[in-house]
Amino acid sequence: MRFRYVVIFSILSFFLLSPLFGQAVNVRDFNEALTSGNVTLESANGTGYISTVTGRLRNNTRNEIQINVSITNGLYFVNSGAGQNMIAVAVYLEGNRFYRSGTIRYIILPANTTTNIIFVSLCADREKDAPKTNELLIRTNMPSNLQSIATRLSNYYAANYGTAVNEPIQLALWREQRESISDIAAIYNFTAEDWTTSSNILGLPPPPIDPIPAGTYSYSSRYSVTINGNNFTMNWEDSIYRGTYIRIDNAIILKATSGDYKGVFTIVNNGIQDRDGDLWRRR
């Protein structure tokens, strides 16, 4: 299974809006506005990506409502289809727009109007596919086992706006759910720096990122990989792949720059072991 993933929230991609001079800003928390009944989440749907959810918000009042971009404690969505459940940590207007007053970022919902929005979201089910556009996402209570990590990730996103946080917070969620690095790496692209940042978020010690010993590791005459520095050459049956790798903890993740190959191995005493449990011995 492969996830399609898009990073849409870099600081350069935003069209920043500014309130009129002297305009009062009374920004409300997203969950509080929903609970009060002043705002209704009319719908939420997948996008085919694990980082975004689209939605429609209805302002039920006669007054304009200003909503904080950051969603305190996160927002949990259950997928009505076969795709992932999601956790939203921030909300923006359609087109990734928002308003700013000093350090406060917020969206505006006009009176008695439905507004298209987009959520910055995280996948809560690694083994499932990203929610499709025809899959309805239903807001429900945050599961008790995710409450603490959802709050931590929402706060981290808010405090680190403008930096590359999408990958680290997604990694932190999966690691909190006890997903292995091998299982994560098989479906998700990330860097050693992303993994280290996720460790910092979780309060874990930084992992070793040392290269493995140079040499050739083989499973049979038709399957071998040669490590040289941070580069590798993979002989896979009649195909040859070349690329780079990263080592994190006891795992190495190989990504080909020539050909469509991605491999995840675990370092063991007498070689490296693939995801099927086969041992590749060093020659």
Digit-coded pLDDT (tens) for 226-268: 999 889 999 988 889 999 888 888 888 998 887 777 888 988 8
Give the mean pLDDT of the chain: 88
Structure confidence at residue 119 (pLDDT): 97
Percentage above 70 pLDDT, the chain: 91
Query: Judging by DSSP bridges, how do beta strands 52-59 and 279-282 pair with one another?
Result: unpaired
Kindly write down the DSSP assignment for every residue of 225-243, as one continuous string. EEEETTEEEEEETTEEEEE
Amino acid at 21: F
Query: At CB < 8 A and 24+ separation, what contacts does 234-241 make?
Result: 234/261, 234/263, 236/261
The per-residue pLDDT for range 170-218, each reduced to its tens digit, is 999 999 999 988 889 888 889 889 999 999 999 998 877 777 888 999 9
Q: Are strands 65-68 and 27-28 parallel, antiparallel or unpaired?
A: parallel
Share of the chain above pLDDT 90, in %: 61
List the Cα angle 37/43/49 in 5-degree steps.
130
- With b for 16 or more beta-carbon neighbours within 10 A and e for fewer, the 195-207 pattern comes to bbbbbebbeeeeb
Answer whether residue 13 shows pLDDT above 70.
Answer: no
Side by side, the strands of the sheet bearing 137-140 are 39-46, 52-59, 114-123, 86-93, 70-79, 137-140
pTM for the structure as a whole: 0.83
pLDDT for 9 equals 43
Confidence grade of residue 17 (pLDDT, cut at 50, 70, 90): low
Average pLDDT over every residue of 156-171 = 92
pLDDT of residue 53: 96
Residue 81, both tokens: 């289809």
The predicted model gives 141-152 an average pLDDT of 96
Query: Three-state DSSP class for 270?
Result: coil
Q: Is the pLDDT of residue 109 over 50?
A: yes
Q: Cα–Cα distance between 283 and 280 in angstroms, integer?
A: 9
> The tokens 């898009």 sit on which residue?
6
Do 140 and 78 contact (CB within 8 A), yes or no?
yes
The mean per-residue pLDDT over the stretch 8-37 comes to 66
